[in-house]
Amino acid sequence: SQQGEEDPQALSIQEGENATMNCSYKTSINNLQWYRQNSGRGLVHLILIRSNEREKHSGRLRVTLDTSKKSSSLLITASRAADTASYFCATEGNDKIIFGKGTRLHILP
Amino acid sequence: SAVISQKPSRDICQRGTSLTIQCQVDSQVTMMFWYRQQPGQSLTLIATANQGSEATYESGFVIDKFPISRPNLTFSTLTVSNMSPEDSSIYLCSAEGVGSGELFFGEGSRLTVL
């Protein structure tokens, strides 16, 4: 069953701008993760934030988690053409990882 | 990190036949999972592959249709049985790194059923 719901479903921005994607989920979690998938490829892990954390940074990525609202956001700063991909949030709980529907990000030159 | 090798990478199969997908991990992992992904869609968890015992299936997936084996910590197979065109999809093997919670993915097996 689907746990996370990302929004927006699709996002187009100019290169250099920041991109923000949101994820909402329904049940309690141990952690929330973000993944990137380039067209026709497997998924690549970007960042993991635990349920007791509120914010985490990794390079140009910033993730926030609000467990009271059951939501998370992924911010990509200073976007590049290579950031064009689909981004999925995934929640871990009960020994399994469930993925959201994803956001398709397109960086315009 | 772990590298996951999945094969076949793609196949075209006839209705009613079965296909087994193999997944090999190059390092120690904990959990292994099988997902299905329709093009342009999200991933749907099929089952958790348990070492030496029966897999744990998600709602809507059954062992007779998707038998899974995991004879050791780093190898698993998924069989898609008695295939129909509705089974056409990308099947992804993944494994969780020891102590990291991070999932590593294979490149997927793109299955087309005619």
Over residues A31-46, the pLDDT tens digits come to 999 999 998 888 999 9
Tens-place pLDDT, residues B80-92: 999 999 999 999 9
Distance CA A88, CA A34 (A): 6
Does the beta carbon of A88 lie under 8 angstroms from any beta carbon of chain B?
yes
Whether A22 shows a pLDDT value over 90: the answer reads yes
Q: In this predicted structure, what is the pLDDT of residue A61?
A: 97
Mean pLDDT of chain A: 92
Q: Do A101 and B43 touch (CB under 8 A)?
A: no
Percent of chain B with pLDDT over 70: 100
Among B35, B45, B103, the residue with its CB nearest the CB of A45 is: B103
Q: In this predicted structure, what is the pLDDT of residue A3?
A: 63
Phi/psi for A14 (5° steps) reads -80, 145
Q: How far is B81 from chain A (nearest CA, A)?
A: 22
Q: How far is A96 from chain B (nearest CA, A)?
A: 7
- The gap between the terminal CA atoms of chain A, to the nearest Å, is 37
Q: Do B42 and A101 touch (CB under 8 A)?
A: yes
Q: How far is A17 from chain B (nearest CA, A)?
A: 25
Q: Which residues pair with B23 in a beta bridge?
A: B6, B76
| Banded pLDDT at A10 (limits 50, 70, 90) | very high
Chain B: residue whose CA lies nearest to A31: B101
| Banded pLDDT at A6 (limits 50, 70, 90) | confident
Whether A1 shows a pLDDT value over 50: the answer reads no
The residues near A60 (Cβ < 8 Å, ≥ 6 apart) are A76, A77, A78
Mean pLDDT to the nearest integer, B21-48: 94
Please list, residue by residue across A89-106, b when 16 or more beta carbons sit within 10 angstroms of its beta carbon and e when fewer do. bbbbbeebbbbbbbbbbe
CB B105 within 8 A of CB B90: no
Dihedral sign, Cα of residue A9, residue B97, residue B79, residue B65: negative
Tens-place pLDDT, residues A69-104: 999 999 999 999 999 999 999 999 888 889 999 999
What 3-state class would DSSP assign to B9? coil
Q: Which residues pair with A9 in a beta bridge?
A: none
Q: In this predicted structure, what is the pLDDT of residue A2?
A: 46
Q: In this predicted structure, what is the pLDDT of residue B72?
A: 93
Tens-place pLDDT, residues B38-56: 988 899 999 999 998 899 9
**Structure tokens given for B99:** 């102590």
Chain A residues 12-51 with CB within 8 Å of chain B: 30-31, 33, 35, 41-45, 48
Q: Given its phi and psi angles, is residue B101 left (phi above 0), alpha (psi -120 to 50 degrees) or beta?
A: left
Nearest CA-CA partner of B108 in B95, B97, B96, B94: B94
Distance CA A25, CA A18 (A): 23
Distance CA A42, CA A44 (A): 7
Among A42, A92, A95, the residue with its CB nearest the CB of B48 is: A95
